[in-house]
Amino acid sequence: MGLAIEDLQRICVKLYAPDPGVGDQAFIPIFHQWIRDRTIGNLVLFDVADYAHVPESPGVVLVTHEASFSLDRSDGLFGLLAQRRVNGSEGAADMIATTLQQVLQVAAKLEEDPRLGGKLEFDRSRIMVEANDRLRAPNTDEGYRALEPVVSTAIKAVFSDSTLRVTRVNNDPRDRLAADVSVEIAAAQAS
């Protein structure tokens, strides 16, 4: 039985950053304000969840209908992780690309928020893409062979003039299948 990676809808995309050291609670008023102001027009924003009391957790989460955006430390590294929440009509590569664009959008807004004092700066040259669906994308060699070109296509769709290096995240087989993407972005896009 082959894999139906094209049906993959549940995905996570993470962008890493050095820990800004502002404390997770600093993000709560920012997210509440975004919800009030409907800051991100293409997303239905409606809740803020706080798991900062749990070590290596999603931390503080902005919940939207389309995806959850968390200040995540679940792999031990700080970053902004988007978890797709609902299925769409797009194929897997489009879904990943859309989610990546949303992460970049949220990341940029966080970086420019004065309440964080310029301490948050995301590394756009490293992206983690996780297949959050053990049925369609099991964490196996076969699963990775199917996922890798989809991830490459998706990242290329966002960073068209970039050079990519996609590697499989070496994790517990019970964890989700994930790819680590190094992106060498053309100067014009990096800005």
The token duo for 14 is 């993470």
Position 190 contacts another protein (CB under 8 A): no
Our finding on whether 172 is near another protein (CB under 8 A) is yes
* Tally of CB atoms within 10 A around 24: 16
In the bound state with another protein, the residue whose beta carbon lies nearer, of 146 and 158, is 146
Q: Binding to another protein by residue 1, rule CB under 8 A?
A: yes
Smallest gap from residue 99 Cβ to another protein (A)? 15
Q: By CB under 8 A, tell whether 39 contacts another protein.
A: no
Q: What is the helix, strand, coil percentage profile of the chain, to 5?
A: 30, 25, 40
In whole angstroms, the minimum distance from the beta carbon of 162 to another protein comes to 29
Count other Cβ atoms within 10 Å, centred on residue 37.
9
Q: Of residues 13, 15, 17, 35, which one binds another protein by CB under 8 A? A: 35
**Encoded tokens for 104:** 């970049």
User: Kindly report the CA angle at 62 between 143 and 13, in degrees rounded to 5?
Assistant: 25
Q: Count of CB atoms within 10 A of residue 82's CB?
A: 28
Stretch binding another protein (CB under 8 A), from 33-41, 93-101, 161-169, 181-189: 33-41
Tokens 């897997």 identify what position?
92
Find the binding residues for another protein in span 9-28 (CB under 8 A). Answer: 10, 25, 28
Query: Binder to another protein among 90, 112, 123, 175 (CB under 8 A)?
Result: 175
Question: Contact between 33 and another protein (CB under 8 A)?
Answer: yes
Helix 92-111 vs helix 141-158: angle between axes, to the nearest 10 degrees? Answer: 60
Quote the CA–CA distance of 105 and 175 in Å, as a whole number: 27
Q: Which residues bind another protein (CB under 8 A)?
A: 1-4, 7, 10, 25, 28-29, 32-33, 35-36, 44, 46-47, 49-58, 61, 63, 65, 68, 70, 74, 83, 85-87, 132-136, 172, 174-176
